[in-house]
A and B are shown apart, each in its own frame.
Chain A
């Protein structure tokens, strides 16, 4: 039997709350984090999309000025979320050689990179600041969290676009099972609400254009969905070997029972319409967790609200869970948070862990007319989970054909 891995700490900074308690309370109520962007650059560049889901508590309110100055916003979010998760875990004494980090990002330090490019063009190379490279590198969030906590068993950065945050949990589980670490701080961070990525995602028609009504723009499974809403923030989870957590009498939220990562090898951006790669990931994650389809009661779906993306996930769930899918309650929380790209899997994992722990499911908003081709049981009003031993899944899929699934079990 592999080592059992449990979750003992949670952290988040998101468009629906700057910490886990606020985010969780809002997710049960059903609120939208999407707003019109109040920045000059929206008009300056005549962006076709003028709204996004921005974090509610600026990192500058949590970090010191000097700390923040040396970090790209993506790294700031990672540090804010991981500090909350670390405090929440209650770990005081640990061999730092046995503490690892797996912190993902989809895009990395895009603000730093493009600011430095502007500086180079306007003022020349001598004005490009020496901290530019450590701030823009995609491993910046993982490195900063490692430095902040003194984690010396490795600092890893899975990069698989919108599957990154979930892949970080996969990596964390492997690190503990293989005996390379006893505790891993996992997560994902993203700070890409910048005119260039907005222009680029809009150019591929991936973003909703409901500029006149941002709060209703993210509408997974709705017949009138027209694209995702850019979000930002970070989620963080403390994974711990079960025996390590028991020995210190830790509060355990749930077990990370299994994970799987597969690749479609189908198309660089389009999901396989038959969801074959996602199906393989779901089946392999359940197998890894020694769980049966019938154990699953809840899924936090990837469901980004794009016309082409939402259905293949349903097809894959149907293939993996069969007729039992009718008994599974699905939450599409991007309806509230927007799409946090490389952070989304981590934030959604936090919500799924809390769903098992509190036996309550987050709500899907904006589902006015459910797509008849996606007949899922979607949670649109407050609903409880049953007592007893239950299993929940969280899915993430990313450009590049990345599929990542985690299986969580109640404790």
Chain B
């Protein structure tokens, strides 16, 4: 969607607020092919490196009294571990590494995207849809492997009165297949909207009369965005846990 926004009129602003989401080659100009190193690739790689630095280098000393890096790493690990254990139960702990990977990647991609001039990979539906569909297909296959055909009892709400059950089954099936859509667009939409709002206020800063007001607004929005970055990563992870729980225990 950002590519279309590029060609449009700027609407009085010095730059278009959606310009920041354009995927372009990181080195020089030219066409984008599958092997081109784009700004999206670079910022995703930086997110992976940051996760590596925090979790591997931060805990390499293994001191009994943790330092700053180690305590942050331990805090993140314990936070996600408790979440998986609370929601999915003991059987879900086997899938903890995948959920931890998702959370750390999303939270670092979101936070690195908040740096000025940075690119936010998670603001693109292509990135979030890949993660959401991986979760969707993984959880569906896991449900059938673990429970066989009785996984379909997820759609048959046995606690409801019998005449209501076919209608509820229809609703449950629709809501099941809509999951990856809402799962991916929630993250991408929140990231995109927040960054676009900051850029809109940044455009107002060029007008001298309202520049102080716009800088205050940018500061406030930036604080809100830090909160939203974390909460959206948390929500993405917690929904992954809920879907995993449905696959492991499909009975209502």
Q: Are A and B bound to each other?
A: no
Binding site for B on A (CB under 8 A): none
Binding site for A on B (CB under 8 A): none
